Amino acid sequence: MEMLTQALERLFRERATPQVVRAIEDGRDDEALWSEITESGFLDLLLPEENGGAGVSLSEAFPSFLLAGLHAVPLPFVQTVLARAWLQAHGVEAPEGRIAIAGPETQQCADGGLVARGVAFGKVADWVLAQFDALRVLLPADSARVEGEQVRGSLSADFHWASLPGAALIVSYTEGNVSPVALGAAALAPLMAGAARQALDMTLTHVAERQQFGRPIAQFQAVQSQVSVMAERVWAMRMAARLAFHASGVMPSPVRTALAKARCSEAAVQVADIAHALHGAIGITEEYDLQLYTRRLREWRRTSGSEAWWARELGSALQASQGSVLDFIIANTQAAA
């Protein structure tokens, strides 16, 4: 698996450069990058070997998912990998193309219309995996009215389907399985952890090089204090995301996903704030790469459910367990340990 991760890191480093990321955010051609990713075979990372995949477990694939956040890959790579495995597990053959995953902000209208709001990577997706009450369905993006967020560089979008498209792939609802909502949140956790790590690395480099009063600002106690808080949050995000993906199979744990998304969303704003504070004026410029990561942290914080939304889900799961808080924690972390 290490060789696969190294190959993917090289692909992202060479093809998903900051210049390419900016170009795709500006609406320019993204087909070249997606073709490279598709031809690499990494989209079927989680599929069994008999189905043409690599047979990699979710736990083994986690470092590869971190890389997409670390390089600010502007396409739904992690979402597509997870969605393809999810569809295969439900007996549905995944179509070609990029798959985005809708969060909890979906609505099935009385007139038969379907609405999915705030879908991460919606602007560059070919399909949207979503849940509308008991309906789990893969919807073609080109059949919807798409409204992008009016935020510079955002790739999230709102989708409005007048009715269920004929090309939609309906997946039967199965109680107890991982829902598309949880799958979308799980996909964002390593992306957020990777983006936070890159923001930390850039901050460490900057404070070591930036001189003030004749010495690097990294030597000032106030700066060291902020860096330590930032590092603490970044590694907490990574540990939480890792916990959600600690599984021998290919589906994340719903409860640990709730914990991961809640923790990553909670820490995202503080990580972004400290990064910009320590960079000073240069940190807010478009030409400097820091904003590629801090923008994503702020946007993904509320996408697929904010920390408050997932905290409520955790609370509901705890109440349903009918045991003590300690019993709940042990039951949901024992397998990961």
Residue 332: pLDDT band by 50, 70, 90 thresholds?
A: confident
For residue 86, tell me if it sits in a domain. Answer: no
Predicted confidence (pLDDT) at residue 226 exceeds the cutoff of 60: yes
For residue 266, tell me if it sits in a domain. Answer: yes
For residue 150, tell me if it sits in a domain. Answer: no
Residue 250: pLDDT band by 50, 70, 90 thresholds?
A: confident
* Helix and strand element counts for the chain (H, E): 11, 10
**Residue 60: both structure tokens together:** 């083994």
Taking residues 257-275, report their average pLDDT: 97
**Residue 162: both structure tokens together:** 């007048």
Over the chain, what is the mean pLDDT? 92
Domain total of the chain: 1
For residue 139, tell me if it sits in a domain. Answer: no
Question: pLDDT: is 178 or 99 the higher one?
Answer: 99
- What letter represents residue 127's amino acid? W
Look at residue 175 in the predicted model and tell me its pLDDT. Answer: 55
Predicted confidence (pLDDT) at residue 1 exceeds the cutoff of 90: no
- Tell me the CATH number at 248: 1.20.140.10
Look at residue 151 in the predicted model and tell me its pLDDT. Answer: 79
Question: pLDDT: is 247 or 334 the higher one?
Answer: 247
Look at residue 174 in the predicted model and tell me its pLDDT. Answer: 58
Q: What is the pLDDT of residues 173-183, one digit of tens each?
A: 655 578 999 99
**Residue 198: both structure tokens together:** 């890159």
For residue 45, tell me if it sits in a domain. Answer: no
Report the distance separating Cα 147 and Cα 157, nearest Å.
Answer: 6
Predicted confidence (pLDDT) at residue 45 exceeds the cutoff of 70: yes
Residue 125: pLDDT band by 50, 70, 90 thresholds?
A: very high
Residues 180, 102 contacting (CB under 8 angstroms): yes
Which residues, other chains included, contact 223 with Cβ-Cβ below 8 Å and sequence gap of 6+? Answer: 207, 217, 278
Look at residue 331 in the predicted model and tell me its pLDDT. Answer: 78
Q: What is the pLDDT of residues 286-316, one digit of tens each?
A: 999 999 999 999 999 999 999 999 999 999 9
Question: pLDDT: is 331 or 70 the higher one?
Answer: 70
For residue 202, tell me if it sits in a domain. Answer: yes
Which residues, other chains included, contact 6 with Cβ-Cβ below 8 Å and sequence gap of 6+? Answer: none
Any idea which of 122-131, 252-261, 309-318, 321-330 has the lowest mean pLDDT? Answer: 321-330
Look at residue 13 in the predicted model and tell me its pLDDT. Answer: 96
Which residues, other chains included, contact 249 with Cβ-Cβ below 8 Å and sequence gap of 6+? Answer: 57, 58
Share of the chain above pLDDT 70, in %: 96
- What letter represents residue 64's amino acid? S
Which residues, other chains included, contact 29 with Cβ-Cβ below 8 Å and sequence gap of 6+? Answer: 23
For residue 11, tell me if it sits in a domain. Answer: no
Tell me the residue range of the domain where 226 lies.
180-333
Look at residue 80 in the predicted model and tell me its pLDDT. Answer: 98
Predicted TM-score (pTM) of this structure: 0.94
Look at residue 334 in the predicted model and tell me its pLDDT. Answer: 67
Report the distance separating Cα 105 and Cα 102, nearest Å.
Answer: 7
34-54: b (≥16 Cβ within 10 Å) or e: beebbeeebbbbbbeeeeebb
CA end-to-end span of the chain: 21
For residue 190, tell me if it sits in a domain. Answer: yes
Residue 148: pLDDT band by 50, 70, 90 thresholds?
A: confident
